[in-house]
């Protein structure tokens, strides 16, 4: 599929850019990207159109059998006012990995990256410029065949929508309080945990609701089999600084392979910090905590980038890390990552991708 096949239908009614403080994920831009899949044509009819409601048959399989995947990444405005993407090829590759697990036909990764850039260019003035703000990018695929039967859909829609978002933390980063979840399970070996698919998130809501009622920001998920290995924290990967090492749960098929996680690992190694990906039990964390060996714990994910854990409650035990304050390493990781993302710092890893590259496009209408 060639980029030249992308059709652009520009919106005639540009909406007003938001003036208020931006809440995460509530405001959307003027345009969206849409591409269809059918058995006879494969992925086809790629187009950028005005943001508008979808018209979908009530029997569309996504409503019933949840065959869907999504991604989440961001565009940042550089000091020069240029839009930058952070490792977008990783998200697009992960989309295809999710597709594989969910039996959704693979997409052409190069084409999708081009289409994504085109969409961002068209809605470029929607990228907010205030400190810590960015443009959240949400590609997703849904099964649209109108059929009531548990089977692979033969029709899909890939859509990309854009949402200008505020800083997750208004005054820099703030440590959060987390509860270890002992009852509910987010994902399990042999399940869909490694894929970004709706079911994992639907399944997490109940635990999250209970945690919120108990005054916690998120839950820490244990593995579904033995209920002792640490997997993730909320919708983030998790890191523990134990003495001079940083430990993070190894990718085991039920943990999401986070782009931020990978970037944190590379960054720490670049600094000469020993990072170990392995199995970690909650018991071990508690034992090390009691010995005074853990002073920094944090989550990593696109939305917050880095989120320090100030307190972790496990059954009747309360673990407070670094007096509930943001530690030095966490702070440094956060500032370096965001510095690279916004083009303020050097990018020794070649993570940053420019958006404004001229390409051939059929402008229609």
Ligand X SMILES: Cc1ncc(COP(=O)(O)O)c(C=O)c1O
Binding site for a copy of itself (CB under 8 A): 24-26, 28, 32, 51, 53-59, 62-68, 70, 72, 101-103, 136, 138, 140, 142, 146-152, 159, 161, 163, 183-185, 188-192, 197-206, 208-209, 224-225, 227, 234-235
11, 50 contact by CB (below 8 A): yes
Q: How far is the CB of 275 from a copy of itself (least distance, A)?
A: 27
Residue number with CB closer to ligand X (67 or 235): 235
Report helix, strand or coil for 319.
strand
CB neighbours (10 Å) of residue 249? 23
Residue choice 160, 256, 265, 355 for contact with ligand X (CB under 6 A): 256
**Residue 287: its H or E element:** helix 282-290
Q: How far is the CB of 287 from ligand X (least distance, A)?
A: 26
Q: How far is the CB of 217 from ligand X (least distance, A)?
A: 15
Task: Please tell me the distance from the alpha carbon of residue 249 to that of residue 265, in angstroms, as a whole number.
Answer: 12
Contact partner, 29, from ligand X, a copy of itself, none, Cβ < 5-8 Å per class:
none
- Start-to-end CA distance of the chain, whole Å, equals 22
Residue number with CB closer to a copy of itself (221 or 334): 221
Q: What is the DSSP secondary-structure string of 8-31?
A: EE--SSPPPPP-SPPPTT----SE
Q: How far is the CB of 91 from ligand X (least distance, A)?
A: 7
Task: Please tell me the distance from the alpha carbon of residue 163 to that of residue 166, in angstroms, as a whole number.
Answer: 10
Q: How far is the CB of 258 from ligand X (least distance, A)?
A: 3
Q: How far is the CB of 219 from a copy of itself (least distance, A)?
A: 11
Strand partners, 8: 48, 363
Q: How far is the CB of 259 from ligand X (least distance, A)?
A: 4
Contact between 302 and ligand X per CB under 6 A: yes
Task: Please tell me the distance from the alpha carbon of residue 74 to that of residue 85, in angstroms, as a whole number.
Answer: 6
Contact between 135 and ligand X per CB under 6 A: no
Contact partner, 345, from ligand X, a copy of itself, none, Cβ < 5-8 Å per class:
none
Residue choice 60, 259, 265, 312 for contact with ligand X (CB under 6 A): 259
Task: Please tell me the distance from the alpha carbon of residue 314 to that of residue 320, in angstroms, as a whole number.
Answer: 11
Report the site for ligand X in 216-255 (rule: CB under 6 A).
232, 235-237
CA atoms within 13 A on the CB side of 65: 18
CB neighbours (10 Å) of residue 28? 17
Q: How many residues does the chain have?
A: 365
Q: Measuring CA to CA, which residue among 132, 90, 103, 187 is closest to residue 305?
A: 132
Question: With 0-12 CB in 10 A as exposed, 13-18 as middle and 19+ as buried, what is 232?
Answer: buried
Contact partner, 258, from a copy of itself, ligand X, none, Cβ < 5-8 Å per class:
ligand X
Residue number with CB closer to ligand X (128 or 249): 249
**Tokens 């590609």 belong to residue:** 139
Q: How far is the CB of 97 from a copy of itself (least distance, A)?
A: 13
Residue number with CB closer to ligand X (92 or 259): 259
Task: Please tell me the distance from the alpha carbon of residue 326 to that of residue 115, in angstroms, as a whole number.
Answer: 39
Contact partner, 237, from ligand X, a copy of itself, none, Cβ < 5-8 Å per class:
ligand X
Contact partner, 202, from a copy of itself, ligand X, none, Cβ < 5-8 Å per class:
a copy of itself
**Residues at the contact surface with ligand X, assessed by CB under 6 A:** 72, 232, 235-237, 256, 258-261, 300-302
């Amino acid at each position: 599929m060639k980029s030249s096949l992308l059709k652009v239908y520009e919106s005639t009614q540009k909406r007003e850019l938001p003036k208020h403080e931006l809440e995460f994920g509530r405001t959307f831009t003027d345009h969206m990207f849409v591409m269809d899949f059918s058995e006879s044509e494969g992925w086809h009819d790629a187009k950028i159109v005005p943001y508008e409601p979808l018209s979908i048959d009530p029997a569309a399989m996504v409503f019933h059998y949840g065959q869907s995947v999504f991604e989440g990444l961001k565009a940042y405005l550089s000091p020069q006012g240029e839009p930058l993407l952070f490792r977008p090829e990783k998200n697009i590759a992960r989309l295809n990995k999710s597709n594989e697990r969910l039996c959704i036909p693979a997409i052409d990764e190069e084409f999708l990256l081009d289409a994504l850039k085109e969409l961002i260019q068209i809605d470029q003035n929607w990228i907010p410029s205030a400190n810590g703000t960015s443009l959240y990018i949400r590609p997703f695929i849904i099964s649209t065949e109108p059929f009531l039967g548990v089977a692979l859909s033969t029709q899909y829609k890939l859509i990309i929508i854009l949402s200008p978002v505020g800083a997750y933390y208004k005054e820099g980063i703030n440590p959060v309080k987390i509860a270890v979840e002992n009852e509910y399970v987010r994902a399990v070996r042999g399940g869909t945990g490694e894929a970004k698919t709706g079911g994992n998130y639907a399944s997490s809501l109940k635990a999250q609701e209970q945690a919120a009622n108990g005054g916690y920001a998120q839950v820490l998920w244990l593995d579904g089999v033995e209920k002792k290995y640490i997997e993730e924290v909320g919708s983030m990967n998790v890191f523990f600084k134990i003495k001079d090492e940083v430990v993070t749960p190894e990718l085991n098929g039920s943990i999401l392979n986070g782009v931020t996680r990978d970037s944190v690992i590379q960054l720490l190694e670049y600094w000469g910090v020993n990072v170990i990906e392995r199995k970690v039990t909650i018991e071990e964390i508690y034992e090390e905590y009691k010995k005074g060996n853990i002073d920094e714990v944090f989550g990593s994910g696109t939305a917050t980038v880095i989120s320090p854990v100030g307190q972790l409650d496990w059954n009747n035990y309360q673990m407070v890390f670094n007096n509930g304050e943001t530690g030095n390493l966490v702070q440094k990781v956060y500032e370096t990552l965001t510095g690279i993302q916004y083009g303020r710092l050097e990018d020794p890893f070649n993570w940053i991708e420019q958006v404004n590259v001229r390409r051939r496009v059929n402008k229609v209408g």
